[in-house]
Each structure stands twice: as structure tokens, then as C-alpha cells.
């Protein structure tokens, strides 16, 4: 098993080809620089490189994928703009910590400022509008990083998160019989943000509650079985199953 997760971000744009993107990026940036054909580096610390893959063609399903992954945050105008994209930039990097997530968010912001239209976290399915992503980076909090990277979904009889592996943590799942969707959002957000901010050590059998009057859930560590190991959504750290006990 690899030690760290892989972060993959997809950013559609209007660049006609790689050279056009490279020129626009280097003209627009004071913090980052496009090096060679496949890397972006920080000007102050160029040894830290981010791999870039450029696809110089329109991808038909992009607008639909962003609309679904955005959970209602993309307007009709946003979707129409995405439908007119000419190319895609993919940013690939090692994940496994909050610091790495925040850093790659800054790289994606630089791409957006160079003609990018929006960001999809290919390693979770969460999509974010251009304006929201830039606002998240400018605020630079754990809450914003969580909002950008973690998707909440339902699969048959379970609610689950996808994306905590980008930070180096387990994802969450709980039975739909335990709680309703609104309560699940509060439970997942509270647990994940507590994890990102405090970096606590949890053990199977321990309990968690969002507040003293809220339902109590018992934690059980499990392997990730919702996705295959080759899937970017796969969490190599596993998942916490939250079982309601009171």
C-alpha cells in the first residue's frame, strides 16, 4: 500500500493549446512558474513541483460532472461557460496532510487566474465554482479546505463522505436508518472539521457526538469497500463506520 494519497484536480479552461496556457500562466503569476512541459513550481521554492497534464480538447461530460459535483452551487451561466471550454488542466500531487491540500489549492487558484473556469477535485468528486475556490484560498481555513475537497453522498442504505484521504484521514459512513440527511451533514461536518483542526487519535469502540444532547455514535474502523483501490475516490486509510447507540 502506498503511504500517501494522490490529489488530482481538474480545471477546464479556454486555452487553445499547452503553449497558450503556459504563456498565460507565466504572464499572470508572481508566485508560481510553469517549468518545462509538465510542472508548476513555486518561485521562492522551485524544488517543490506539481505535475501538470494538459488535454487540448473539449470533453463533453465536463459541464454535467461539475454541475453534479457542485451540489447546486453552479448557476445556469456557470454551466454554459463550462460547456464552452476548450481544454483541461490536471494538477497531480502527493496528498496526506492539510498543509499539502492548502498548498495545492493555491496552485489551482493560480490556474484559475490564468483562464481556468472552475475546479473539480477528481479524487473526491467535489466541484467548486471559480469565485468560491478563490474565496476559499484567500480565507485559508480548515473549514474552506473541507468545503472544497470533501463530498457527501448516499449509496443505497449508507450516507458517506469522500475526500478525507486527500488530508490523510479516514472517511465516514453511517446507515441511513441512523439519521436523516440534514443531521448527517451536521454529524459529518463536525467530525471531519474536528479531525482537521485538532488531529485527534480515535480508536474503534470510542464514541462521538456533535453536542451533549445529540445522538451518540460508536466508531468502528473498516477498510474502504465503496471504491476499488485503483479509483481516485478510494481511501487507503479506510473509513470510520458511525453506529448510533443512543
Residue 99: phi and psi, rounded to 5, are -60, -40
- More confidently predicted of 104 and 140: 104
Write down the pLDDT at residue 3.
65
pLDDT digits (tens, 9 = 90+) for 108-144: 999 999 999 999 999 999 999 999 999 999 998 999 9
pLDDT tens string 14-32? 999 999 999 999 998 878 9
Residues whose CB falls within 8 Å of the CB of residue 47, separated by 6 or more in sequence, listed in order: 41
Q: Average pLDDT over the chain, rounded to whole?
A: 94
pLDDT of 91 above 60: yes
pLDDT at 220: 98
Q: What is the mean pLDDT of residues 49-73?
A: 96
pLDDT value at position 49?
87
Q: Is the pLDDT of residue 64 over 60?
A: yes
- Which one-letter DSSP state was computed for residue 74? S
Distances (CA, A) of 102 to 2, 58, 195: 21, 28, 16
* 29, 114 contact by CB (below 8 A): yes
pLDDT of residue 46: 63
Q: Could you count the other beta carbons within 10 Å of the beta carbon of residue 14?
A: 15
Residue 1: its pLDDT value, please? Answer: 43
- What residue spans define the domains of the chain? 6-147, 151-244
Half-sphere exposure of 139 toward its Cβ, with a 13 Å CA cutoff? 14
**Residues 219-240: tens digit of each pLDDT:** 999 999 999 999 999 999 999 9
> 35-49, 68-82, 193-207 — which is least confidently predicted?
35-49
| Percent of residues, the chain, with pLDDT higher than 70 | 98
Question: What's the whole-number mean pLDDT along residues 54-73?
Answer: 96
Amino acid at each position: 500500500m502506498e503511504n500517501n494519497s494522490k490529489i488530482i484536480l481538474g480545471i477546464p479552461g479556454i486555452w487553445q493549446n499547452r503553449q497558450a496556457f503556459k504563456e498565460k500562466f507565466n504572464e499572470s503569476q508572481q508566485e508560481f512558474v510553469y517549468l518545462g512541459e509538465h510542472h508548476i513550481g513555486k518561485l521562492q521554492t522551485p524544488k517543490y513541483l506539481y505535475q501538470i497534464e494538459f488535454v487540448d480538447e473539449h470533453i463533453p461530460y465536463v459541464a454535467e460532472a461539475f454541475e453534479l459535483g457542485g451540489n447546486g452551487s453552479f448557476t445556469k451561466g456557470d454551466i454554459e461557460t463550462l460547456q464552452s471550454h476548450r481544454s483541461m488542466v490536471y494538477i497531480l500531487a502527493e496528498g496526506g496532510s492539510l498543509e499539502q491540500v492548502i498548498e495545492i489549492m493555491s496552485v489551482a487558484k493560480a490556474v484559475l487566474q490564468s483562464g481556468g473556469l472552475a475546479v473539480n477535485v477528481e479524487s473526491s468528486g467535489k466541484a467548486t465554482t471559480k469565485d468560491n475556490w478563490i474565496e476559499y484560498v484567500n480565507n485559508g481555513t480548515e473549514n474552506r479546505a473541507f468545503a472544497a475537497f470533501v463530498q457527501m453522498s448516499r449509496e443505497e442504505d449508507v450516507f458517506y463522505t469522500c475526500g478525507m484521504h486527500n488530508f490523510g484521514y479516514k472517511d465516514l459512513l453511517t446507515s441511513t436508518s441512523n439519521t436523516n440527511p440534514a443531521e448527517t451533514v451536521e454529524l459529518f461536518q463536525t467530525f471531519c472539521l474536528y479531525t482537521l483542526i485538532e488531529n485527534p487519535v480515535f480508536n474503534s469502540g470510542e464514541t462521538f457526538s456533535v453536542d451533549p444532547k445529540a445522538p451518540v455514535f460508536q466508531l468502528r474502523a473498516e477498510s474502504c469497500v465503496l471504491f476499488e483501490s485503483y479509483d481516485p475516490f478510494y481511501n487507503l486509510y479506510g473509513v470510520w463506520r458511525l453506529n448510533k447507540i443512543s
